[in-house]
Copies of this chain bind each other. A is one copy, B any other.
Amino acid sequence: MVGSVGNGLMDLCHKGKVEPLPKEFDPTDIVEPMPAVDLESLGGDEGSGKNREIVLGRNVHTMCFTIKEPEVDDEVTGEREAYMASVLARYRRSLIERTKHHLGYPYNLDFDYGALAQLQHFSINNLGDPFIESNYGVHSRQFEVGVLDWFARLWELEKNEYWGYITNCGTEGNLHGILVGREVFPDGILYASKESHYSVFKAARMYRMECVKVDTLISGEIDCIDFKAKLLQNKERPAVINVNIGTTVKGAVDDLDMVIQTLEENGFKGRFYIHCDGALFGLMMPFVKRAPKVTFKKPIGSVSVSGHKFVGCPMPCGVQITRLKHIDVLSSNVEYLASRDATIMGSRNGHAPIFLWYTLNRKGYRGFQKEVQKCLRNAHYLKDRLKEAGIGAMLNELSSTVVFERPKDEEFVRRWQLACEGNISHVVVMPNVNIDKLDSFLEELFQKRSCWYQEGMMSPPCIAADIGQENCFCVLHKK
């Protein structure tokens, strides 16, 4: 090869002397023998906790479904088809079971997209910009722009003033928002509360931005007194701020108005860019009274929300909306925009916009309003029942995330798929989490707890530092 670059290659092509058919290629060289598969072990038992080995940075191959080279006579015997069908059937059963026992992540698992199954036969790809057609015709931009319009309207930005796209997840929204902020203020410092999603700190690392972590209140909200102090230490450089519309652990909503006020009163007017990470609550807040309104009528730069959380979607996705002028500024500065692409990704999933379009159309603003009300009601029910039973718990005013003491048993945590941090754990009440499900969870928790904390044995942990003394029911703080 080394000697044949350039015209040599061309000649070969031209004369048709290519030798593309590797007759000597023997697949058995690189193919493993068909492993013996214990069908009993295929999925569905991950909650059991046995034989599980979790090591950071190590390859865990305990439960993997190996890919096996088909036997030459396979089409005759049908063995392969039978094997694959059995793996899939068993996996489906495990999905049903795992979906039933799920409380910890803010994913609405209640959806029916049966009408869209017909589209799975197509390779739908919205590569590049949603507003610029590419020559690839199998796309769903018509749906994507419809969804974007809906969100732009919700957040009060005119059609001809916004730009946005449907992302792969909440992280991509944050990565995009912070990148736009950095391009607007290349020497800006990134500020984010320490309870921000980890993707914010990942962005700082990726983009080589200086990042300042700001303290939080017990509720999980950003502490604007600390924010002010940190701003004043860096008065000469502009600020790029990540504002949380619902933190991951406590569901806390940063006070956008106070963040803006703090910036403007301390000499940052016209020298800041705010990205609102509304992964979960970006879509619930508009329907909650007293919530500080997220709107582009305030001096914010971008808002992102996840599509697989409150809306519910088979695969992760999200919506990112920013001001068109920022993208315009970028397009004159940024070389890569010559390719007409202001997204983070290149190829983009064209199914997600159709799922979102379908649900938004079916439910509408009114439908979401009802669901938000139901979630908040059910979250209160859960928090009240926990407290009645003497279990410390907290529920932020604008949130459906109930924070409480971490269950002592990892098995229980895994069974209900609770997200934990230190001594606390949470349940995110989504539309698919109804009273029945909460009751069955509570009953099991109360029962287990009576074993964990038998009289004279251990006591529940103190979680006053996490959720405040008034919410903690440990031995010390019990009233």
Contacts and interface: CB of A to CB of B under 8 A. Distances in A.
Contacts of A327: 57
A226 interface: no
A232 interface: no
A301 to B, nearest CB: 16
Contacts of A199: 346
Given A201-B335, A336-B198, A380 B471 contact: no
A328 to B, nearest CB: 5
A124 B314 contact: yes
A7 B217 CA distance: 9
A175 to B, nearest CB: 8
Contacts of A63: 141-142, 145
Given A116-B88, A257-B1, A10 B219 contact: yes
Contacts of A31: 364-365
Contact of A336 (B2, B205, B312): B205
Given A57-B163, A346-B171, A120 B120 contact: yes
A195 interface: no
A229 interface: no
Contacts of A471: 10, 14
B420 A312 contact: no
B417 A30 contact: no
B335 A205 contact: yes
A86 to B, nearest CB: 12
User: Considering residues A27, A57, A60, which has the most beta carbons from chain B within 10 angstroms of its beta carbon?
Assistant: A57
Contacts of A398: 20
B163 A179 contact: no
Contacts of A206: 179, 206-207
Contacts of A20: 288-289, 372-373, 376-377, 398
A224 to B, nearest CB: 8
A203 to B, nearest CB: 9
A67 interface: yes
Contacts of A261: 2
Contacts of A6: 217-219, 221
B146 A64 contact: yes
B13 A394 contact: yes
Given A132-B60, A336-B201, A125 B308 contact: yes
A172 B159 CA distance: 29
11 contacts: A10-B468, A13-B394, A18-B376, A25-B369, A31-B365, A43-B142, A59-B160, A67-B360, A80-B361, A202-B341, A205-B334
Nearest to A159: B59
Interface in A41-88: 42-43, 46-47, 52, 54-61, 63-70, 72, 80, 84-85, 88
A385 interface: no
A115 B65 CA distance: 17
Contact of A347 (B171, B292, B350): B171
Contacts of A25: 287, 289, 369
Contacts of A360: 67
B27 A369 contact: yes
